[in-house]
Amino acid sequence: MSDLAPMREQVYSDPRPKEHFDRFHARARTREPDWAYELTRVITSLYAYTFLRARAISVENVPGRGAVILAPNHFSFMDHFLMGCYLRRKVRFMAKSQLFKRPMRFIYSHGGVFPVRRGARDEETFVTARKILDQGGAIAIYCEGGRSRTGKVAEQARRGIGRLALETGAPVVPIAIYGSSHVRNWKRLQFPKVTVQYGDAVCWEQTDAPTREQEQAVADQVLAEIRRLYEGLEQHGRKGVLRRAREQRRSRRRAPKGAAVA
């Protein structure tokens, strides 16, 4: 018997036409997230800090300004909140179009979220993402696509994150969220301890028209780094990884300028 609470079946198609979502893209391209973002962050952060005992490692790896792509693993509906609650800057999220229904679509659109129509070649999503990055914003994208249903990091990435990284040249910060696979066990009154580790930013040279192979290669590299971070948390635990992160920061401060630190 699985120790994970059951998930609803994945729904990959949205019968609503592309035009239905144009207004949400238009808002995301022209307006910043407003009070809805801050209110949601406060509520979800309190839940994360108290019930999930969530803590973060190496938040300083996320640039405080300028374009950046944040790439966490995806186990739970709470992942984007867990990833964003430690960051002072506002993060713009891609979300499946099925979520843009009343009453939550108001919170999503005013919170800076924009839709992606899964199962369709949704160019509007990439137009919106590039626009936000051109404006110096922060985008979150799951390179695994949908949520993992096994509680394990996926073996292969979706190439969308590779395309976005290559087309924009924006740095990518891989992020491991450990413990969130059990968040849905709240129905059993079980609350996991969650750790969010932000990896080192990685950049690729900007490419105007990357090939599918180039996009996939970059996406696979990002996922491999997410998996490395996740396995480190799995093997050493929060305290062990925190200890190593502190040692690395001290080593960097002591090292001569320009020297590499393992």
Q: Is the model more confident about 83 or about 6?
A: 83
Average pLDDT of 134-155? 87
Average pLDDT of 158-175? 97
Q: Is the model more confident about 11 or about 206?
A: 206
Residue with tokens 């490419």: 207
Rounded distance, CA 222 to CA 202, Å?
Answer: 8
- Asked if the model's pLDDT at residue 126 lies above 60, the reply is yes
Paired tokens of 6? 């059951």
Q: What one-letter code names the amino acid at 143?
A: C
- Asked if the model's pLDDT at residue 70 lies above 50, the reply is yes
Paired tokens of 2? 């699985």
Q: In the chain, what are the domain boundaries?
A: 23-254
The torsion angles phi and psi of 249, rounded to 5 degrees, stand at -65, -40
pLDDT in tens, 230-247: 999 999 888 899 888 888
pLDDT in tens, 2-60: 566 565 666 668 889 999 999 999 999 999 999 999 999 999 999 999 999 999 999 99
Q: Which fold has domain 23-254?
A: Glycerol-3-phosphate (1)-acyltransferase (3.40.1130)
98's CB contacts (< 8 A; 6+ apart) are 11, 14
